[in-house]
Amino acid sequence: MLRLMGGILVCGLLMAGQSFAGPGAVESIGKAQGDHHSLAVYYEEQAQINKTKAADWEFAATYYEKFPGEVSGKMSAAEHIAHCRSVSEDFKKLEQQNRELAAKHRELMRKDFH
């Protein structure tokens, strides 16, 4: 029973962390504010969100390593763990891309001031 509740908790955490920006979010921010500062802030926020998602998926992988019996479905425990780690790596890449975009907008801000 405790394992089942733990599995449900992990799944709930993963689903709760899966919020995505709607279409056109970047364009509306840029148009509304019209400056690089707001875009830099936006991308830093997205980077932090993706960092959290990566950590959530890594937590799930670690959980399933400790409790392989909690894995259900067609995938083996090893496949499920590998999948969780793969998704975590994807979010880490997105985090890095967001940080790079934020840095570019901060650099453009500096150029605008000179």
90 within some domain: yes
20 within some domain: no
102 within some domain: yes
Q: Which domain holds residue 71?
A: 2-15+35-113
106 within some domain: yes
Confidence category of residue 62, pLDDT binned at 50, 70, 90: very high
Contacts of 25 (CB under 8 A, 6+ apart): 42
30 within some domain: no
Q: What does the alpha-carbon distance between residue 76 and residue 82 come to, in Å, rounded to a whole number?
A: 10
Please count the structural domains in the chain. Answer: 1
Q: What is the pLDDT of residues 43-58, one digit of tens each?
A: 999 999 999 999 999 9
Q: At 46, list the tokens.
A: 């997205």
What type of residue sits at position 76? Answer: S
More confident residue, 61 or 8: 61
27 within some domain: no
Q: What does the alpha-carbon distance between residue 99 and residue 64 come to, in Å, rounded to a whole number?
A: 30
